[in-house]
Structure 1
Amino acid sequence: MRPSRILATAVGVLALLLTLLSTAAPATAGRLHRESRWAPAATAPIHPGTQMFTAGAQCTANFVFTDAVGDVYVGYAAHCAGKGGQTDTNGCTTDSVPLGTPVRFANGATVATSGTTVGHGTLAYSSWITMHRVPGAGANACAYNDLALVKVDAADVGKVNPSVPFWGGPVGLSTGGLPAGTQTWSWGQSSLRPGDALSPKTGLSLGGSGGGWSWDVYTATPGIPGDSGSGFLDATGRAVGVLSTVAIAPLAGSNGLGDLAKELAYAQAHSGIAGLRLTPGTKPFSPPA
């Protein structure tokens, strides 16, 4: 090959490499930006387990979600924004406060104090409100579809981390539920329970009901009012459920969970939030031995 052709080939290869690098760089930068957008897990004030106050009612955050345009949502139970009493658990017949209702994020609230306000958001989705609007949910969904999402104010997004305290994770979304006998992990922050000593919970599944919409679990320190909405992880650290009820059967003190995979699929189909998805934690799932 003549020197001129060698030079031309080399120049062509160099040009191609520069083109590939120039087109790849923004995508890489975008990935890095998305991965680094979260506050450090050790200091983030808004995370799974944060207290959430809606029209005076207190619940516990379960997991963090994002959408196609990068907005950030924190989940809790739809009944946390409901207007019914504690025995009104049918989302198709119980009214709720409207979408757009302000929600306050806090930590350390007790029956004596309102805690430290760490951010604000607005109610952006409620399965209960949606099932009123979209007919045909079915009896099982009406009874157990209990998920709501609060859109975090733009000024507070930088305070969020998606990792579950103490346990780490979630590492993804469970689609297999909680078969009887399998272990589960959770974190609650009820204002009725002073301090965090009893916030981390671990226990066993008692099995499912409602056509896979609900799972009953028993933990050594059961969830109490205020823990409602808190998230549960399966044995591999995947997000599996949302605390919905305190039950007296099949075992006194057990808790009923809404199946998160079904609840999220319903939200993806009917919320109008494009690209809605669960956000994995930045800390690995690593239960203490």
Structure 2
Amino acid sequence: MSPLQNLRTSTRRLATLAALASAAVLGAATATVAPASAAPTWAPADQATLTPGVQAYTEGGQCTANFVFTDSAGGVYLGYAAHCAGTGEATQTDGCESGSLPLGTKVDFAEGGSLVSSGTRLGGGTLAYSSWLAMQDNGETDADTCAYNDFALVKVDAADVSKVNPTIPFWGGPVGIDTDGVGAGETVHSYGNSSLRGGLELLSPKQGISLGTSGNGWTHPVYTITPGVPGDSGSAFINGEGQALGTLSTLALAPLAGSNGVGDLASELAYAQQHSGIAGLELALGTEPFSPLL
């Protein structure tokens, strides 16, 4: 049995979440950043309600948004993990074989509570891209790509775009994209707060270290002070310079117990740029500077 399991929570699994101890999939390649002139007018960072780290609910499944993206037509997207829209079990982590909800599925952004109905709804969007669906449509056969390309995009409803800011709370940035990965021992940062933490904001910012790069560049195992737990799937990871590194996908039981698997954003975004059909898809930079603790 696979020692990995995805980190999406669902309404039918909330009673057993404390027992979850494994994870899903990830990504790696090159990508570009949206020029400032192409970016929409963002909400002020201290007033925006749709930012990296917001909770995203897809037909009961709970995940965390990572980075903000734009397209050439002015569309705005929040990223999360493809398995957040998955229809199979948590142990089904191969994106080339696992089931997914279709594009166009409604996604709600919210904060507080274990379910969107008991929290505060902040806005919504629709599933616009799933690496799992794209790989299946494309007949992808590369084992590492199938295993670790776990990335999806939710197009923010036009009425909610004015609530968006791409800055990562607490840390600031991203200032660009990490295109060459991280070596063992390098510092990484993340932000996310699954409802399993009971709304404890002090646990939202996370700092840790990379354990290197594997899967031919598609994944970066990491340790953070508090590991990502179910509901944190999709969370943004940045490197020690504030560059977008990847997206949280898995929690490992073995061989690196308690580590998280982070998909390589450069690879995931490059795949999306080639197969999503979204023209001019780019990462949006934060409006606030990156500010590490050290």
Q: TM-score range by the shorter chain?
A: 0.7 to 0.9
Secondary structure of 2:84's aligned partner: helix
1:89 to 70, 84, 93: 93
Q: 1:198 corresponds to which residue? A: 203
| 1:151 equivalent in alignment to 2:151 | no
For 2:209 and 2:267, the matched residues in 1 are separated by 21
With a CA cutoff of 8 Å and minimum separation of 6, indicate the structure with the bigger relative contact order: 2
Q: Is the 8 A contact 2:39 2:74 kept in 1?
A: no
| 1:277 equivalent in alignment to 2:274 | no
| 1:287 equivalent in alignment to 2:292 | yes
| 1:225 equivalent in alignment to 2:215 | no
Q: 1:237 corresponds to which residue? A: 242
TM-score (norm 2): 0.85
Q: Is the 8 A contact 1:203 1:219 kept in 2?
A: yes
Q: Is the 8 A contact 2:81 2:234 kept in 1?
A: yes
Counterpart residue identity of residue 254, structure 1: S
| 1:103 equivalent in alignment to 2:103 | no
Counterpart residue identity of residue 180, structure 2: G
**Per-residue deviation, 1:261:** 0.3
Q: Is the 8 A contact 2:57 2:116 kept in 1?
A: no
Over aligned residues, Cα RMSD in angstroms?
A: 1.6
**Per-residue deviation, 1:248:** 2.0
Q: Is the 8 A contact 1:45 1:107 kept in 2?
A: no
Q: Which stretch of the first structure deviates more once superposed, 247-256 or 156-165?
A: 247-256
Secondary structure of 1:210's aligned partner: coil
1:212 to 212, 217, 221: 217
For 1:98 and 1:189, the matched residues in 2 are separated by 26
For 2:36 and 2:179, the matched residues in 1 are separated by 28
Q: 1:257 corresponds to which residue? A: 262
Secondary structure of 1:209's aligned partner: coil
For 2:57 and 2:111, the matched residues in 1 are separated by 10
Q: Tell me: CA distance 1:179–1:108, structure 2 relative to 1, closer, same or farther (3 Å).
A: same
For 2:137 and 2:116, the matched residues in 1 are separated by 38
Secondary structure of 1:233's aligned partner: strand
**Per-residue deviation, 1:62:** 0.3
**Per-residue deviation, 1:112:** 9.8
For 2:262 and 2:207, the matched residues in 1 are separated by 14
For 1:45 and 1:110, the matched residues in 2 are separated by 18
Structure 2 stretches lacking a partner, 5+ long:
1-34
**Per-residue deviation, 1:116:** 0.5
Q: Tell me: CA distance 1:273–1:35, structure 2 relative to 1, closer, same or farther (3 Å).
A: closer
Q: Tell me: CA distance 1:84–1:35, structure 2 relative to 1, closer, same or farther (3 Å).
A: closer
Q: 1:179 corresponds to which residue? A: 183
Q: Which stretch of the first structure deviates more once superposed, 108-117 or 264-273?
A: 108-117
Q: 1:138 corresponds to which residue? A: 142
Q: Tell me: CA distance 1:100–1:113, structure 2 relative to 1, closer, same or farther (3 Å).
A: closer
Q: Is the 8 A contact 1:166 1:287 kept in 2?
A: no
Q: Deviations over 1:216-254 (max 9, x none)?
A: 000010000000000100010000110000002342110
Q: Deviations over 1:42-66 (max 9, x none)?
A: 1100000000000100000000000
Q: 1:58 corresponds to which residue? A: 62
* Structure ranking higher in helix proportion: 1
For 1:249 and 1:273, the matched residues in 2 are separated by 37
Secondary structure of 2:145's aligned partner: helix
Counterpart residue identity of residue 222, structure 2: V
**Per-residue deviation, 1:110:** 2.9
Q: Is the 8 A contact 1:110 1:193 kept in 2?
A: no
Counterpart residue identity of residue 292, structure 2: P
Q: Which stretch of the first structure deviates more once superposed, 153-162 or 128-137?
A: 128-137
Q: Is the 8 A contact 2:171 2:291 kept in 1?
A: yes
Aligned length: 259
Q: Is the 8 A contact 2:38 2:72 kept in 1?
A: no
Identity of aligned residues (%): 62
Q: Tell me: CA distance 1:275–1:248, structure 2 relative to 1, closer, same or farther (3 Å).
A: same
Q: Deviations over 1:31-88 (max 9, x none)?
A: 9986671001111000000000001000000000000111000000000000111111
Q: Is the 8 A contact 2:108 2:116 kept in 1?
A: no
Q: Which stretch of the first structure deviates more once superposed, 196-205 or 248-257?
A: 248-257
Q: 2:27 corresponds to which residue? A: none
Q: Tell me: CA distance 1:42–1:85, structure 2 relative to 1, closer, same or farther (3 Å).
A: same
Counterpart residue identity of residue 231, structure 1: A
